[in-house]
């Protein structure tokens, strides 16, 4: 395994139909990719491997948070200087990765968080917008960080920053948990405008209002023990 | 009388369980022991339960026992939930270690 400075960590669960395209796009831009197959039932792992990613396979489905943590740890073990989390469904632009890594250097930050509300969105439905605004408000109040988009899957972190991330929320509540740990680490972070492209595919796989309730319960339970 | 005898037998079983649990989890053992003893007391002296209930502003002793039981089961449910989460975290660590070990093996095999 050659040492690459920038690693892209992609968590994928049953994304066999789109994962190859996403990975090829990222590989073409010259980044190393680790795809964490979160116990998919389809050919996600094979497709990712063929597309040129290092593949880690969870033996069982653990959730996106767990898969991201695995990806981050794999990237660190592989010697990554910068780890970027990237969604598997093709909603992020590969060109935004360079924007994030540049922002890390420029602002001397350890975390660069993508924000669709600073940047642009394509085809974002109103309902999705409202749910995200509410989620952002909730996280701002509970974590105490002033960020505009708390649930963006595109983030870059330095090695030092990535070592401080220890996700224990296996499911979707990890988005708030990452921010919480960023705040706890006391390391500098910067928000960077990125573009999210909403497609029928990403909408079908995305979070709905009912999932927000599950996330709230997860976060509440987290506060209760330890 | 039948109800009192069978309840007594059951509560004695709880006391035995509490004794066996005491070394492993003192808090759980002590709590179950106390619940069982209070239960025994009220089974044989229901009028005291009624008096206590009246003091707390509840009509009947049975209702008091019922309310307390609801609260206790909620707490047990919460405790169980937290324990399940802890177990899930352990499973996650295990699965992650396994996945990482497998990934290393694959990459070292495919390396020239």
Q: Do B102 and A170 touch (CB under 8 A)?
A: no
In angstroms, rounded to a whole number, what is the distance separating the alpha carbons of residues A191 and A104?
10
Per-residue CA distances from A54 to A9, A11, A75, B85, B106 (Å): 10, 12, 10, 30, 9
pLDDT in tens, A167-182: 988 777 788 889 889 9
| Domain-wise residue ranges, chain B | 1-44, 61-112
* pLDDT level of residue A205 (50, 70, 90 thresholds): low
- Is B101 in CB contact (< 8 Å) with chain A? no
Contact A24, A51 (CB under 8 A): yes
Mean pLDDT of B11-21: 89
pLDDT in tens, A120-144: 566 667 777 777 777 777 777 777 7
Residues 6+ apart with CB under 8 A from A204: none
A contacts of B98 (beta carbons < 8 Å): 59
Mean pLDDT of B64-72: 88
**pLDDT for A28:** 93
Q: Are A137 and A33 in contact (CB under 8 A)?
A: no
Average per-residue pLDDT in chain A?
85
Output A209 or A188, whichever has higher pLDDT: A188
Distance from CA of B24 to the nearest CA of A (A): 20
> What secondary structure does DSSP assign to A168-184, as a single string?
---STTHHHHHHHHHHH
Burial class (CB in 10 A: 0-12, 13-18, 19+), B24: exposed
Can you give the pLDDT at residue B82? Answer: 87
CB contacts under 8 A, A 37-66 vs B, are 54-60, 62, 66
B86 touches chain A (CB under 8 A): yes
Between A53 and A199, residue with greater pLDDT: A53
pLDDT number for residue A206: 60
Please tell me if residue B80 touches chain A, with a CB cutoff of 8 Å: no
- State percent of chain B over pLDDT 90: 27
On whether the CB atoms of residues A71 and A11 are closer than 8 A, the answer is: yes
Q: What is the pLDDT of residue A57?
A: 95
Q: State the pLDDT confidence band at A210, using cuts at 50, 70 and 90.
A: low
Question: Can you give the pLDDT at residue A67?
Answer: 95
Q: What is the mean pLDDT of residues A43-69?
A: 94
Q: How confident is the model at residue B109 (pLDDT cuts 50, 70, 90)?
A: low
- The residue with greater pLDDT, A198 or B81, is B81
Q: What is the ipTM of this complex?
A: 0.76
A195 or A1, which is more confident: A195
Mean pLDDT of B89-112: 81
Residue B112: band (very low, low, confident or very high) from pLDDT cuts 50, 70, 90:
very low
From the list B82, B98, B107, the residue facing A225 with the nearest CB is B82
pLDDT recorded at residue A145: 75
- Lowest mean pLDDT, pick from A4-8, A34-38, A213-217, B8-12: A213-217
**pLDDT greater than 50 at residue B32:** yes
Q: Residue B5: which H helix or E strand, with range?
A: helix B2-22
- pTM comes to 0.76
């Amino acid at each position: 395994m050659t040492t690459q400075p920038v690693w892209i960590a992609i968590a994928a669960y049953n994304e066999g139909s789109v994962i190859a395209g996403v990975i090829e796009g990222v590989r073409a831009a010259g980044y190393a990719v680790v795809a964490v197959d979160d116990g998919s039932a389809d050919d996600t792992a094979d497709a990712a491997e063929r597309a040129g990613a290092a593949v880690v396979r969870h033996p069982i489905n653990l959730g996106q948070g767990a898969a991201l943590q695995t990806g981050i740890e794999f990237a660190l073990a592989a010697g990554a200087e910068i780890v970027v989390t990237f969604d598997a469904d093709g909603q992020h632009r590969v060109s935004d990765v360079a924007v994030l890594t540049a922002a890390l250097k420029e602002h001397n930050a350890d975390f660069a968080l993508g924000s669709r509300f600073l940047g642009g969105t394509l085809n974002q439905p109103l309902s999705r917008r409202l749910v995200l605004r509410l989620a952002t408000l909730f996280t701002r109040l509970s974590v105490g960080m002033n960020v505009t988009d708390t649930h963006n899957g595109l983030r870059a972190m330095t090695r030092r920053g990535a070592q401080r991330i220890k996700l224990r929320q296996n499911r979707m509540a990890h988005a708030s948990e990452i921010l919480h740990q960023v705040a706890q680490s006391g390391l500098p972070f910067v928000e960077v405008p990125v573009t999210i492209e909403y497609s029928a595919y990403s909408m079908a796989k995305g979070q709905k209002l009912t999932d927000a309730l599950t996330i709230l319960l997860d976060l509440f339970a987290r506060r209760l023990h330890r | 009388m039948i109800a009192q005898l069978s309840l007594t037998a059951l509560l004695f079983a709880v006391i035995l369980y509490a004794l066996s649990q005491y070394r492993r989890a003192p808090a759980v053992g002590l709590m179950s022991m106390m619940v069982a003893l209070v239960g025994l007391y009220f089974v044989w002296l229901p009028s005291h339960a009624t008096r206590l209930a009246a003091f707390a502003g509840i009509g009947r002793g049975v209702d008091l026992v019922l309310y307390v039981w609801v609260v206790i089961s909620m707490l047990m449910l919460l405790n169980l939930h937290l324990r399940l989460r802890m177990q899930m975290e352990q499973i996650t660590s295990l699965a992650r270690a396994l996945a990482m070990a497998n990934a290393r093996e694959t990459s070292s095999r495919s390396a020239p």
